[in-house]
Amino acid sequence: MACWDIIGKALNQPIYNLLGGKYHDKLRAYAYMPTEGIWENPEKAGEIAAKLVEEGNSACKLDPFMPIFPLPRDIPLAIIRQAAKIFQCIRDAVGDKLEIGIGTHGQLTTYSAIRVAKVLEEYDPFWFEEPVPPENVDEMSRVAAHTSIPIATGERLVTKYEFSQVLEKQAAQIIQVDVGQCGGILEAKKIAGMAEAHYAMIAPHMYCGPVAAAAAIQLDTCSPNFLIQEFNAGPRHAELFQESIRFENGFITPPAGPGLGVVLDEEAIKQYLV
């Protein structure tokens, strides 16, 4: 990422112009839905969803099967039904105005993932993320074959070789490549191209800070098969750049500046030095 930033700034061009040019003028984005209290009171999920829509968001994600560990594990029917109530309350509150991704972290066994998908299918989830641990592509493919919910994966995969197996075995239709983990911007662009050839979309993972987010945005902007960008940006993200990434009404505006399009604020960073 640093090398691409240097090249872009030396040429006075954003990285997306060096990788094919701007394909999207704005980028749809999402973040995790705040979930405190919704398990005990599913109607609260509807209230939160309505607020998200009011703020201009068109998508969100939630993990109804916490904790993450141990995994993979069985999800009892009573818990699946309770998760369904949460989804039902969201749909009752906002209808189809908000896409809802099932944001699991590989917590489920194959058969349990299939049961979950069957129950939640009627609420038309945006995707079912990592329904089983991502290292077992065959089992993820088995889940994909049993549901109409799109399967998403990729945040824990590295290099184009792992992604090629996911695509070839039809284990996922939404590829959540992490630019910082998969080998960098050029490797991520290759993975996005492979996904495009399989009619799969990319929804890059972003949970590693504002510089990684800026790199993902460069990839998104020049990728025809971009779907949506994860954007879990806290208030400190904006502080660290001289000019923050613009996120308004559920969309990110790609920066026009050279390189990653952002410049770190050295004075702001000093307060976080250890």
Catalytic residue, candidates 146, 198, 205, 237 = 205
Can you tell me whether residue 123 is helix, strand or coil? Answer: helix
241 bridge partner residues? 264
Nearest CA-CA partner of 247 in 210, 201, 222? 210
Q: For residue 65, give the nearest of 43, 28, 39 by alpha carbon.
A: 39
Pairing of strands 251-253, 27-30: antiparallel
Question: Is 205 an annotated catalytic residue?
Answer: yes
Q: How far apart are CA 220 and CA 222, in angstroms?
A: 6
CA–chain centroid gap for 24, Å, is 17
Helix (H), strand (E) counts: the chain: 11, 10
Q: What is the DSSP letter of 122?
A: G
The helix/strand/coil state of 198 is coil
Residue 105 falls in the annotated catalytic set: yes
Burial class (CB in 10 A: 0-12, 13-18, 19+), 136: middle
Given the residues 24, 105, 146, 237, the one annotated as active site: 105
Helices (H), 222-272: 235-239, 266-270
Could you tell me which of 220, 247, 272 has the C-alpha nearest to residue 31? 247
Catalogue the active-site residues: 105, 205
